[in-house]
Every structure is written in structure tokens, then in C-alpha cells.
Amino acid sequence: MLERPVDPARYGGVVRPDKTVRWARDELEQVRRLRGRSPDMWRLPESLGRLAKWLTELGWDDLACLARREELAVYRTLSAVQPGFFADRIVHALAALRRSLVECRRHEEALEVVEELLRLSETNRSAQAEAPDTRYWRTLLLARLGHDQEAVESAAEAVTEARGRLQHAGATSASFELIHALTAYADRLDKVGRVAEAAEVSAEVMAAWWRQADSTVQFLQTLDLCSERLVRSGQIEQAHACIVEAMGKMRRRKRDTYQAGAWHNLGVRLLALGAPEAALTAGEEAVQLYRDRGRAHQERHRELEAEDDWDDDHRYSEAYLLKRRREELKSSRKEVRRAEQDLHDALLTLSACLEQLDRPEEAAAALAEAATLPG
């Protein structure tokens, strides 16, 4: 069963793969010894769980599914003898089996597990704790299986459940659970062509992210989605107003280079909406942030090039250290080039905005600067 090569791209362990294979073999031998030994039957599912863990780290999810199914079967057998005593372990085993099945793309089987977890959530506290994640996966699995309308209904149910818990708790703002449920609901509405409704839900998500601390990235990503959905549903003026209002709010928050891409996307969308003045504001912000990011990457690359202690680690061979050094420099150069390409694209958008505003000299200057950068 374990005589197969380990794919480095799928290996998830923190030690050498051969060690993990050895641990998996040792655990498999333990499983073989425990099978059929009634006094020690309770130890068997624990050993199967550890075996599944090693198999998952090795990227052998099909084998992990086998271990998880046997683990679940043993817990069910034990539960029949001592009703209720192993209920929580059954829930945890089901959740783990769902994860393995999803990794194997066995979506129909995973959906069956999800439905069982939801049934258990009516009486079991562990299953209730898993319920938000379980509902998310029910929606996602229905969508992956092509049951789009059922996925919409599942997503709507998850939103209702999350709202109900908030109201019961007397909360005054959206929880992360509700935000993620609303996000999934908007995606599913969009998928079935109910784009205007998806835009409305996205607007609620955007407002919720704004009220969360340290969620500027999520706010900007949702703004991009919301405005795009407004455009596709024919609500052009609303899209324009949505972006301009959000830009005004963003100016009151701390600027950071990770926001550059969002500002650039907003500028492109505003330009397409026939609002070059607002697009210019976004474009100038994007260019400045991309310049800052480019300078930061260039400075880091110069510091990396100047390091002279890269080969001082006695734990590794000189050949390994040299290989690692080359890979670090290569990765750093890629970051610098990517930052230059992003600045190039932002300058082209800025030039187009200036051209539409009849400012040809400034447009030409932006175009000339873009020409000095890799496209």
C-alpha cells in the first residue's frame, strides 16, 4: 500500500518524506496488530487517525480516505455498544473524511458526509460547532456537482442561519461567519444569472468588511466585485457612485502598497464607465503606490545582493547553500520585474485618463515613463 513515490509538489510534511513514510508504515503495522483485538478495539480508530494524518502529509489522499472510512466504521461499532460515548469522535472522523474526499475530488461522497454532519448538528454540540464550515462545503460541493439552483438555496440557508445566531446573541455587526456566508451567496446568485441580486449582496459584504479591523484588502476586493456586478446588471450610475464613495472612504485609511492593484482596477473600471476624472484620481494613487512598491523591492534586492554571510551556515553543504542563494536572487529579481510591469500597466492607464481629459503633455510623459519599463 505504501510502495509508491512521494510527489514533492504534494508533500505537506516538515521533515524528509522518507521519515514520514517510515512513520506511516509503523502506524500501519500497529493497525494490523490491533484489528480484531476486542479489548483494545478503542485504540484502533486512534491509530487509524494517525495513519490517515501521515498519509495526508504524503499527499496520498486516496489511501487517507480508506483509513478515515475504517476509523469511522470502528467508532460506529464502538458507539453501538456504548451509545453517545463516541459521538464527538464520530463527528471529528466525518469532518476529516470530508476533507480527504474533497482532496480526491470525490464530491458526491463528500456531499453525503456533509449531509450527515448537518443532521448530527441538530443534536450534537461538536457537529453544531462544525456547522458553519459544513454549510459552506455543502454549497460549494453542490456547485461543483453542477446543482446550481440547489447551491443557491443552500447558500441562502447558510445566510439565514448565520443571521439568526447573530440576532440571538444580540450582536450589532456582522460576524466573519455571516460575511463568508453572504460572499458565497453572492457568488451563487451570480452563477445562475441573478447578477443584480448578487451585486446587492456584495454591497452588504463590502459594508461589513469596512467595519472590520484590518480588512482593507477584503473591502477593496469586494468593491471590485460589487462594481463589476453592478456594471453587468446595467446599473452604470450605481457602479460609478459605489466606486467614488469607496475611494473617498479609502483616503481616510492608511495607504499601503498592497492596495495598488485595487486602485489600478478601479481606475480601469471608471475609465470604462466614462468617468476619466475619477479614474485619474484612482490612477494617480495606483502609480504612486506601485512606485513605492517597486522601490521597496529594489532596495530589498540590493540588500540581498550585498549579503556576504549566505554561505556561513555550517549545517548545510556549500553546494546546497549556493543553490539556495541562486534561488533567492532569482525570486527577488522576479519580484522587482513584476513590480516594474505593474507600474508600466498603471502608467498606461494614467496616460489614457490624461488623454481623455485633454492633458496631452502629461499623457505623453506617463507614456514615455512606461516605455522605460518592461511590459
Q: How far apart are CA 258 and CA 264, in angstroms?
A: 11
At residue 316 the predicted structure's pLDDT band, cuts being 50, 70 and 90, is: confident
Cell numbers at 20, concatenated: 514520514
User: What's the pLDDT score for residue 230?
Assistant: 96
Q: How far is 57 from 332, CA to CA, in rounded Å? A: 29
Tell me the pLDDT tens digit for each residue of 152-196.
999 999 999 999 988 888 877 788 999 999 999 999 999 999 999
Q: Above 90 in pLDDT, residue 312?
A: no
Share of the chain above pLDDT 70, in %: 99
Least confident of 45-59, 125-139, 252-266, 349-363: 252-266
pLDDT at 256: 86
Residue 349 is predicted with a pLDDT of 96
| 230-235: long-range pairs with CB below 8 Å, 24+ | 230/199, 231/269, 231/272, 231/273, 232/195, 233/195, 233/196, 233/198, 233/199, 234/196, 235/196, 235/199
Whole-prediction pTM: 0.80
State the average pLDDT over residues 51-61: 95
Whether the per-residue pLDDT at 232 is higher than 70: the answer is yes
Give me the chain's average pLDDT, please.
92
As a whole number, mean pLDDT of residues 30-56 equals 88
Q: Which band of pLDDT confidence, cut at 50, 70 and 90, is reported for residue 227? A: very high
Nearest 5°: phi and psi at 104?
A: -85, 0
Q: Residue 40: its pLDDT value, please?
A: 67
Assign residue 342 a region (left: φ > 0; alpha: ψ between -120 and 50; beta: otherwise).
alpha
Query: How far apart, in Å, are the Cα atoms of 27 and each of 52, 202, 328?
Result: 9, 48, 38
Contact residues for 359 (Cβ-Cβ < 8 A; gap 6+)? none
Predicted pLDDT at 185: 97
List, as one string, the DSSP characters of 111-146.
HHHHHHHHHHTTT-HHHHHHHHHHHHHHHHHHHHTT
Per the CB < 8 A criterion, the answer to whether 65 and 106 are in contact is: yes
Set out the domains of the chain in order of their start, with CATH numbers: 1-104 (no CATH), 255-306+329-375 (1.25.40)
pLDDT in tens, 59-90: 999 999 999 999 999 999 988 888 888 999 99
Question: Is 306 a residue whose pLDDT tops 70?
Answer: yes
Q: What region, left, alpha or beta, does residue 227 occupy, with left being phi > 0 and alpha being psi -120 to 50 degrees?
A: alpha
What's the average model confidence in pLDDT over 140-145? 96
CA distances from 87 to 79, 82, 138 (A): 7, 10, 21
The conformation of residue 71, written as its DSSP 8-state character, comes to H
